[in-house]
A and B are shown apart, each in its own frame.
Chain A
């Protein structure tokens, strides 16, 4: 595949109930197995781009393709994790993680391979440090643990596309850094094409090959930064001069975006 796995070509999204579009003229390409991060002020439409790629919304203008087809066309090709872990409280952690396999292989297909799938889920839970929680319920775990389980659920069906919508935003700094390391190592192993939406510039630089900076909504891409840091990246490395320089540069772009907005729109303070 010489072309990008994800291709957005002047994509615009305007929600049915809103007059102003959420995002305008988004063009970006993510190569197969690549990792990009979308950053920008709150309400800039980063998540809307993610929804376009996931096939949850259809572009009202321009074109979006994933793997050469319309997004969401092939079943089970996407793994998603949100800021809220959105665990199903009535299922054990293991059964939560098995959910995508149930949906993707259908009832009969799932029953036929149940033992194999369970093994796979248990191994993945073990890998993310949740081995002993497999048979507990999500609400018995801390937020960080739930987010780990949510990552397991996003990865269990080995999707080609991994979409992360601020999955670590509600976690404490140390847990967050642990999970960066985990996501990076799994990404390096399986190479799902990854799109990360985040407020955290260190997180973006740590995890992504390319970072896109969005303007305040309606969102446009105002800057693209290729991160030429060697992998694997480490938490210690985030304090190195070249890493900090990337973060500073991205920060500069976001500050600029926020200032142009706040002169225009003073009643809603931007944060992030």
Chain B
């Protein structure tokens, strides 16, 4: 087996398995009580035994996360283009955006609940709010760092701004966009689960909250495992897309 195959395909599983084994070992050795830290084997049996409600709540979380992320992509790309293309917009808007991004999003959930009620909408909006900033910053950076010679080349050919954006700006920004996307997708899960924990009646966050209040700690951990797994899958999906679309930026 080639070295890279070992690294890419086998190592992640080995390390994950090792971590779970260590966790299991610690729990057994020190006889830690289940309601403090359940063993991974118990978490696994819980996952199997209660798969139906877990699946339902997971799908809800997946949906709110993806819708929030989609909004963040749409809004973030547009705003990023505006900020990257115009120095005026950059100067005017950037401080406000930085200030907004410094606000802990969990503090916004109660306000969202007042506006939209308990449920799906606050979760989607929290996922959106937490994940759009890295997209804006990266798109803007990608656009702003286009080599001046490329702009000169296009202008000397008589290209208008839209053509320059389409032929140079957007493709040049794609690697930055994917870098942002990989950060944004994990943040979006943070946003939706936080919101579900505070104010929802469905989703993994809600499930964990309820399970915790009943001391069903293995179910709480099952929820964590599921969120982590969904994060990995989506991250991998974007990475696959990135490798296909921006191979030229990696150069072998």
Q: Are B153 and A76 in contact (CB under 8 A)?
A: no
- Which residues of the partner chain B approach A55 to less than 8 Å between Cβ atoms? 155-156
Does B95 sit at the interface, judged by CB under 8 A?
no
- Is the pair B248, A103 in contact by a Cβ cutoff of 8 Å? no
Q: Which residues of B contact A56 (CB under 8 A)?
A: 152, 155-156
Residues of A within 8 A of B168 (CB): 88
The reply to whether B155 and A104 contact each other, CB–CB distance below 8 Å, is: no
Q: How far is the CB of B112 from chain A (nearest CB, A)?
A: 40
Contacts of A102 in B (CB 8 A): 167
Q: Which residues on B sit within 8 Å (CB–CB) of A72?
A: 155-156, 158
Asked if residues B167 and A80 are in contact (CB atoms below 8 Å), the reply is: no
Asked if A174 is at the interface of the complex by the 8 Å CB criterion, the answer is no
Complex Cα spacing A99 to B156, Å = 12
B171 within 8 Å of A (CB atoms): yes
* Cα(A78)–Cα(B153), bound, Å: 10
Minimum distance in angstroms from B134 CB to a CB of chain A:
22
> From residue B17, how far is it (CB to closest CB) to chain A in Å?
39
The reply to whether A78 and B156 form a contact with Cβ atoms under 8 Å apart is yes
B145 interface residue (CB < 8 Å to A): no
A17 at the interface (CB under 8 A from B): no
Q: Does B87 contact A (CB under 8 A)?
A: no
Category for how many chain B residues contact A: 20 to 34
Residue of B nearest to A54 (CB): B156
CA distance A84 to B155 in the complex (A): 17
Interface presence of B174 (CB below 8 A): yes
Say how far B91's CB is from chain A's closest CB, in angstroms. Answer: 16
Write out, one digit per residue, whether chain B residues 34-69 have a CB within 8 A of any chain A CB (1) or not (0). 000000000000000000000000000000000000
Q: Please report whether the interface of chain B is mostly helix, strand, loop or mixed according to DSSP.
A: helix
Which chain B residues in 137-185 approach chain A with CB under 8 Å?
147, 149-150, 152-159, 163, 167-168, 171-172, 174
Q: Mark A71-100, 1 if CB is under 8 A from B, else 0.
A: 010111010101010101110000000011
Residues of A within 8 A of B97 (CB): none
Q: Is the CB of A90 within 8 A of B248?
A: yes
B108 within 8 Å of A (CB atoms) = no
A76 and B157 alpha carbons, distance in the complex (Å): 5
Tell me whether A103 and B158 are in contact in the complex, defined as CB-CB below 8 angstroms, given that A88-B168, A88-B171, A89-B248 are known contacts.
yes
Which residues of A have CB within 8 Å of B159? 103
Q: Chain A residues near B19: list those with CB within 8 A.
A: none
* Interface status of A139 (Cβ within 8 A of chain B): yes
Could you tell me the distance between the alpha carbons of A248 and B232 in the complex, rounded to whole angstroms?
A: 68
Encode B72-85 as 1/0 by CB contact (under 8 A) with A: 00000000000000
Identify which of B150, B157, B171 contacts A86 (C-beta below 8 A). Answer: B150
Q: Which B residues are within 8 Å of any A CB, using their own CB? A: 147, 149-150, 152-159, 163, 167-168, 171-172, 174, 246, 248-249, 251
24 A-B contacts (beta carbon < 8 Å):
A51-B152, A54-B156, A56-B152, A56-B155, A56-B156, A72-B155, A74-B158, A75-B157, A76-B157, A80-B152, A80-B156, A82-B149, A82-B153, A86-B149, A86-B150, A89-B248, A90-B171, A90-B174, A100-B157, A103-B157, A103-B167, A104-B157, A137-B248, A163-B156
Closest 4 CB pairs of A and B: A75-B158, A86-B149, A103-B157, A90-B248
> Using a CB–CB distance below 8 Å, which chain A residues touch chain B?
51, 54-56, 72, 74-76, 78, 80, 82, 84, 86, 88-90, 99-100, 102-104, 137, 139, 157, 163
Other than the given A56-B156, A90-B248, A99-B167, 4 more pairs (CB < 8 A) read A86-B149, A89-B248, A90-B171, A90-B172
